[in-house]
Amino acid sequence: MAILSQTEAQDILKKVISFSTADECDATLNGSLEGNVRSARNSISTAGAVDNVSLAVTSYFGKRSGTATCNQFDEATLRRCVQRAEEIARLAPESPEYMPLLGPQTYLSSPQSFAASTAGITPDYRASQMAASMQYCDQKKLSSAGFLNDQAGFVAKRNSKGLEAYQRTTNLDFSITVRTLDGMGSGYAATDFTDIKNFDAARLTAVAASKASSSVGAKAIEPGKYTVILEPNALVSGSDASLLGALMRSFDARSADEGRSFLSKKGGGNRKGEKLFDERVTIYSDPTNAEVPDLTFSGDGRPQQRTTWIEKGVVKNLYASRYWAEKTGVPSLPGPGGFIMEGGTQSTADLIKGTAKGILVTRLWYIRPVDPQTLLFTGLTRDGTFYIENGAIKFPVKNFRFNESPIIMLNNLEAIGRPVRLAGNLVPPLKIRDFTFTSLSDAV
């Protein structure tokens, strides 16, 4: 029963709200059908499927609130769930940051967030895509490890003030690491889709395989400051922390106002309105974008709309909780799901052609914060690092550890390529000068 229609979902939620005796009641239904297959050494290692729908009810008495959930939807269970939420609320301490529930909202329409093709994925489809990927590596005498995960889901919300929301989503993520049999070369590729019509695991595997073969025989070059071309997998990730992901998650108004963010201003306040990045940097979010459609409402029911976070290098907006927005008198903007970085028309290959000396970075890995004051992060290159000279790749190089801040990085911008979808974002490859590599790694 995972994917309920709008009518089915709202019928359940109406019933829930009708059982409420609290001052306010908020109910959310979440459902998903998820499947995965995993491979290693050119063989399927595990496969699984999960089907789940759950209801969360939050009841309010004054400034006290309580939440309970259930995953059965008969009338008696729904009634018990509401009663339990109310019992917890009565016992809870008053919250000084309580905000009354939102009334009816108007949401944008983003029907392309759901694709029937993705929702219809079968175990055979998963197995055949993975088999094609493994077969490619068998033929090339390479070893692969991959993961394919797909999900179809819905979210429905309703509250006692009349707010009503519903949206369906689908997603497929595929990533593949290909290694040479002697372990001296490694390549990686990843992709994600809302609609799987263009998904081809073998085609993506070929990209990773090419990187694996061409990264054999890496030479050690001195760490230091280099011009780099960071491919999208070096900027965002669906499975690890990332430099641009970390930057976008740090646009919280409260942390900035409290003095504990790189967006805090000396003496108090925040740096909204200041130019902190190269003027070619523009980053926004838009849940209706056809390439990266997203939910048009946030978890607390606020509308998600097109929002510009950085425009021509200037910090345009910070996100804030409803409480903090009201307290400080700023717009109440929820944090974005994915984000879109504007770019140009050049491909990664074009960026390489325009580079006299530099390093092509396929992927960055194990990225961890070092200093929140400057948003300094450390991490390593992985799965294909190459030296560029006179507009062409000359040879593979050993992996580096970096210590760099995305703020400094986006001030040292040389060129921006054409954005591509990755991990629910649209991200261009970036050419950056003076990127700081601090040591070498023997890892392949």
Partner 1 sequence: MGGTLVDPARLLEPGLDVAQKKRLADVALNAAKSAGASYADVRIGRYLNQSIFTREKQVQNIASGESFGAGVRVIASGSWGFAATNNVSEAGLAQAARLAVAMAKANAKTQKEPVNLAAQQGYGQVSWKTPIKQNAFEVPVAQKAELLLAANAAALANGANFVNSSLFQINEQKYFASTDGSYIDQDVHRIWPTFSVTAIDRASGKFKTRDALSSPMGLGYEYLSPQAADKVAGPSGTGLVGYRNSYDILEDAALAARQAKAKLTATSVLAGKYDLVLDPNHLGLTIHESIGHPLELDRVLGYEANYAGTSFATLEWRKKNIPYGSKNVTIVADKLQPGSLGAVGYDDEGVKTKEWTLIDQGKLVDYEKIRDQAHIVGQKESDGCCYADSWGAVQFQRMPNVSLRPGTAKLSVDDLISKVDKGIYIAGRGSYSIDQQRYNFQFGGQVFYAIEKGKIAGMLDDVAYQANTQEFWNSCAAVCDQSDYRLFGSFFDGKGQPSQVSAVSHGSATSRFNAVNVINTGRKLG
Q: Which of residues 274-303 bind partner 1 (CB under 8 A)?
A: 276
Q: Residue 268, by phi and psi: left (phi above 0), alpha (psi -120 to 50) or beta?
A: left
Looking at residues 119 to 138 of the shown chain, list those that interact with partner 1 (rule: CB under 8 A): 123, 127, 130-131, 134
State yes or no: residue 71 binds partner 1 (CB under 8 A): yes
**Cβ closest to partner 1, residue 109 vs residue 239:** 239
Q: Does 44 bind partner 1 (CB under 8 A)?
A: yes
Residues 361-420 that bind partner 1 (CB under 8 A): 365-374, 376, 378-380, 382, 399, 401, 403, 405, 407-408, 411
Query: Is 62 near partner 1 (CB under 8 A)?
Result: no
Q: With binding defined as CB under 8 A, does residue 41 bind partner 1?
A: yes
70 binds partner 1 (CB under 8 A): yes
Q: Would you give the binding string for partner 1 spanning residues 296-335, x where CB under 8 A is met?
A: ----------------------------------------
Task: With contacts defined by CB under 8 A, name the span among 143-151, 305-313, 317-325, 340-348 that binds partner 1.
Answer: 143-151
> Are the C-beta atoms of residues 437 and 224 closer than 8 Å to each other?
yes
Q: Is 93 in the site for partner 1 (CB under 8 A)?
A: yes
Question: Which of positions 157-196 make contact with partner 1 (CB under 8 A)?
Answer: 175-177, 179, 183, 186, 188
Least distance (Å) from partner 1 to the CB of residue 251? 16
- At CA 353, angle to CA 351 and CA 355, rounded to 5? 75
CB closer to partner 1, 134 vs 426: 134
| Nearest distance, CB of residue 266 and partner 1, angstroms | 4
Task: By CB under 8 A, tell whether 213 contacts partner 1.
Answer: no
